[in-house]
Structure 1
Amino acid sequence: MGLLDGRNAVITGAARGIGYEIAAVLGGEGARVVIGDVDEDAAAEAAARLTGNGTPATSLHCDVTDGDQVAARVAHCADAFGPVGVMVNSAGITRDATLRKMALDDFRAVVDVHLTGAWNGTRHAAEAMREHGRGGSIVNISSIAGKVGNFGQTNYSAAKAGLVGLPKASAKELAKAGVRVNAVQPGLIRTAMTEAMPQAAWDAKLAEIPMGRAGEPAEVAQAVLFLASDLASYITGAVVEVTGGRYM
């Protein structure tokens, strides 16, 4: 028996990276998975890999900044597998520059994808969960940057801080409907993006981690699994840091 047997999960930004790992881990615990991503081909390939590994999965193109597309993805889950029970808002982009050099469009783009996208996902998943009356779990992927701020990332840090406030406020509104809303804040996680950093930057970040190593995508996914499952049945409005103790 898996922790998510019989449940249907929608995960944004899951064509690759941490989002894909979340999809794989939830699927491994019995969830049927819908992958939403702006890269339609990559999303389809990811769904095919999951299906090949024994997880019922499907995909749909989705721009999370478009509320109608997010609503369509939630409806697609109901059509393909049944009512959504788990929603993971993981889609994100970066447009790094110092405050002095950052273009307004780059600030707005990052906030729109991360924060407006998660608001759209929370809103439409919660409405579906209210309608089917079985409750559910919504998990937002924030970042340690939302706690301490990163140089050259005023847009990203602001958006990720919003992904702490959003689930807390949503949790208060949705608790009576049996819908839990929480957030995960990853720290330095070993992905293609972080491994492309200059060695000096990697070493500086590593020196800040008491556990002395970077995290793995699966370690973020396991935290999401916990919050999505009944193991966290009395947890809502919480923020789980997956950082190896960095910035305690």
Structure 2
Amino acid sequence: MPSSTTVRRLTAPVRPGAAAHGAFRRGLFAGVGAVLGLALVAALVGAGRTASADPPRQLADRIRAQEAARNAKQVKALTTQARDLATRLMPVLGQMETAMPHEGRAPRAAGAAEAGRWKAVTSAAVAALAHPPSGDTGYNVARSDFSAAVRALDGAVDSYRLALGAPPSLKKRLVAAAASQRDQGIDVWSIGATELDAVDVDAGLGHQHVFLQVAPDGQSLTPDDEPEGNHSR
């Protein structure tokens, strides 16, 4: 009868701290993975925020640059236009000064033909400044002042032309009204020229003086002492 052999398996003894040590290592790795995952998420979120914040700032900067360029272009065009109008108006104002002098000098009346030539110049100036394009506040103020000024000068010419055919009792009042309108137009123009000078400097074009060089009535503003183009950039 065959003999049976008993096979005994030898098992390594389990150390009491081994299980706890393995659990600790697994927990450590899991914790590190979680921390790294959170850090990656935070980095991605931060990058997304930065990327989404940059385009609006760039857009705002681009809009500001475009507005500044447009404003400088409008201001330069208005300065050229005002200078041209002042050149055309100066001879008319000189002749009006002869017909309606300041400081009590004796007037030398203008005839209908001469007053008609005044009208051609002033009405053209009114038309040139009608329907202005909108711009920055300073530009709008200066242009509105120039427009109001030439309307006053045009009204002065109308009053004087009416006086030419009026009876003596009315003629004197009409001439006085024409002189007052003329002075008002010059005064308002000087306000616009002062505003435009400041706007030119702000736009980088430097000082620009487009004042009407006529006999003052004591109310008109005068240009500053800065040379033309000074403080341009």
Is the structural similarity TM-score above 0.5? Answer: no
TM-score (norm 1): 0.28
- The normalised TM-score by structure 2 is 0.30
**Higher Cα Rg, which structure:** 2
